[in-house]
Amino acid sequence: MDSQEILSIKQRFGIIGNSPKLNYAIQIAAQVSATDLTVLITGESGSGKESFSKIIHQLSHRKHGSFIAINCGAIPEGTINSELFGHEKGAFTGATDSRKGYFEVTDGGTIFLDEVAELPVETQARLLRVLENKEFIRVGSSKIIKADVRVVAATNVNLLEKVEKGKFREDLYYRLNTVPIYVPPLRERGNDIDLLFRKFTTDFAEKHHLNPLKLSEGAKRVLLDYRFPGNIRQLKNIAEQMSVLEVKREIDTETMHRYLPESKRNNLPAVLQDLNDAGGNFTERELLYKFLFDMRKDVNELRELFVSILQDGKRNVDEKQILRDHAHLFENKGGNYRSSYKREEHKKSEDEYDSREDSDENPKLLELEKFEEIITEDESLSLQDKEREMIIKALKKNNSRRKYAAQDLGISERTLYRKIKQYDINNEDN
């Protein structure tokens, strides 16, 4: 496919940008559209995955058939089978009439399953049957229904990791992933950020009869350097905010920094402190996750350090020097974990250690086991406490509106609801 054909597709579907990764994704979507192969679109939330499902449908022989986009994470677990596959009258409480599901309604067309990783295991089995045999059974029925539906799925999580954890069927993963399409995040698209910003501000200015914004070179550099964890959705939100609030239509570096406050911060403890303040910005979610993973790495390194000290009693080890060399592991990381190691408890003589080396009551090995239990418990609790704290802040920020809180956190409404129950979060907390 040449560049002119790709440009034509962009113009038809309103796609802005010239990055090689974006062009490659469009090329794959166009090539696979002529087939009936199942497609799995991967990419971060807000990167524009649904646009690629529309490209696949509109360029296929199914373009005159129905196209339905479904957010699997927004449908309650108790009703998703009925929504997708339909139900018979009396199949469950409230089923006063028979109802066709999305697969039956979309026969001959394309169905787009967004957030497919959120499907319950039972629904995954039903979906696998549709993909393999093009048939399904309504809830409460025993009659097999045939449906010629093309499935395009999308996810913003690593499905292979969910397969390894037993939360997603391996056979379904490989059935969905017949043709993979990766949609790059905004931070990997270079100058596309500036093109999209100008597009959004120009459209907004025309709609509301305003002069469009103009960026100084410094402001443009700040914009291009920002990571945009919320991708295109976040960029559009910022562009519209600035179009409304800024009286001065020439945007300088300082003004841009006000709308991207976290872009000036590059150390993780500072990010954590900002999230602890009222009204923290949840767009720094990725940086927070990186901090937590780095914390886990420190804990593992600390554990290995003690193994090297405690298990080798015959080696002449300068424990004080080693602890000084690894002092960074004992610093307080925002109160998230602590070391319970007490060096004075291990100032046993080498002779005493050697005499008890083969004993089940070796004091150093017992202390190591105790230390590992405490570290493991603290590590788990710190992650859970931080997750609970972030959920409460998101709910406060959005006045307990779960839909918008879930969007801020980058999870589905159903996952947020489950987490609220898990952590026993009530209205008094938020």
* 217: CATH: 1.10.8.60
pLDDT of residue 398: 81
3-state secondary structure of 171: helix
pLDDT of residue 278: 41
3-state secondary structure of 215: strand
Task: Name the nearest CA neighbour of 49 among 158, 155, 139, 134.
Answer: 155
CA-to-CA distance for 14 and 77, rounded, in angstroms? Answer: 34
Task: Give yes or no: residues 162 and 50 share one domain.
Answer: yes
Domain endpoint, select from 234, 264, 294: 264
Task: Give yes or no: residues 99 and 198 share one domain.
Answer: no
Residue 385: pLDDT band (50, 70, 90) is confident
Residue corresponding to tokens 């562009």: 239
CA-to-CA distance for 342 and 95, rounded, in angstroms? Answer: 64
Task: Give yes or no: residues 98 and 139 share one domain.
Answer: yes
Domain with residue 173: its CATH number is 3.40.50.300
CA-to-CA distance for 49 and 155, rounded, in angstroms? Answer: 9
Domain endpoint, select from 150, 184, 218: 184
Count structural domains, the chain. Answer: 3
Phi, psi of 102 (to 5 degrees): -60, -35
Task: Give yes or no: residues 8 and 79 share one domain.
Answer: yes
Task: Give yes or no: residues 17 and 145 share one domain.
Answer: yes
Mean pLDDT of 17-32: 96
274 part of a folded domain? no
The range of the structural domain enclosing residue 214 comes to: 188-264
Report the chain's mean pLDDT, rounded to a whole number. Answer: 81
CA-to-CA distance for 29 and 51, rounded, in angstroms? Answer: 10
430 part of a folded domain? no
Looking at per-residue pLDDT, the higher value among 130 and 321 belongs to 130
Say if residue 49's pLDDT is above 60: yes
If residue 236 lies in a helix (H) or strand (E), which one and from where to where?
Answer: helix 231-245
Task: Give yes or no: residues 314 and 398 share one domain.
Answer: yes
97 part of a folded domain? yes
- What percent helix, strand, coil does the chain show, rounded to 5? 55, 10, 35
pLDDT of residue 325: 54
412 part of a folded domain? yes
Could you give the percent of the chain with pLDDT greater than 90? Answer: 58
Task: Give yes or no: residues 165 and 205 share one domain.
Answer: no
Task: Give yes or no: residues 334 and 395 share one domain.
Answer: yes
270 part of a folded domain? no
pLDDT of residue 422: 84
Contacts within 8 Å (CB) and 24+ apart, 384-388: 384/423, 385/336, 386/288, 386/292, 386/336, 387/419, 387/423, 388/419, 388/423, 388/425
3-state secondary structure of 163: helix
b/e sequence 323-333, b meaning 16+ C-beta within 10 Å: beeeeebeeeb
Amino acid letter for position 218: G
418 part of a folded domain? yes
pLDDT of residue 407: 81
3-state secondary structure of 364: helix
CA-to-CA distance for 84 and 316, rounded, in angstroms? Answer: 67
pLDDT of residue 293: 58
273 part of a folded domain? no
Looking at per-residue pLDDT, the higher value among 149 and 275 belongs to 149
Of 34-38, 66-70, 200-204, 380-384, which range is least confident?
Answer: 380-384
Task: Give yes or no: residues 208 and 168 share one domain.
Answer: no
Q: pLDDT tens across 52-80, in order?
A: 999 999 999 999 999 999 999 999 998 99
Q: pLDDT tens across 225-243, in order?
A: 999 999 999 999 999 999 9
Q: pLDDT tens across 147-179, in order?
A: 999 999 999 999 999 999 999 999 999 999 999
Mean pLDDT of 100-113: 96
What are 304's two structure tokens?
A: 């290995």
276 part of a folded domain? no
Domain endpoint, select from 201, 231, 264: 264
Task: Give yes or no: residues 90 and 33 share one domain.
Answer: yes
pLDDT of residue 45: 93
Task: Give yes or no: residues 299 and 244 share one domain.
Answer: no
Looking at per-residue pLDDT, the higher value among 16 and 261 belongs to 16
Residue 277: pLDDT band (50, 70, 90) is very low
Establish how many alpha carbons lie within 13 A of residue 232's alpha carbon, considering only the half-sphere containing its beta carbon: 21
Say if residue 184's pLDDT is above 50: yes
Amino acid letter for position 257: H
Task: Give yes or no: residues 326 and 250 share one domain.
Answer: no
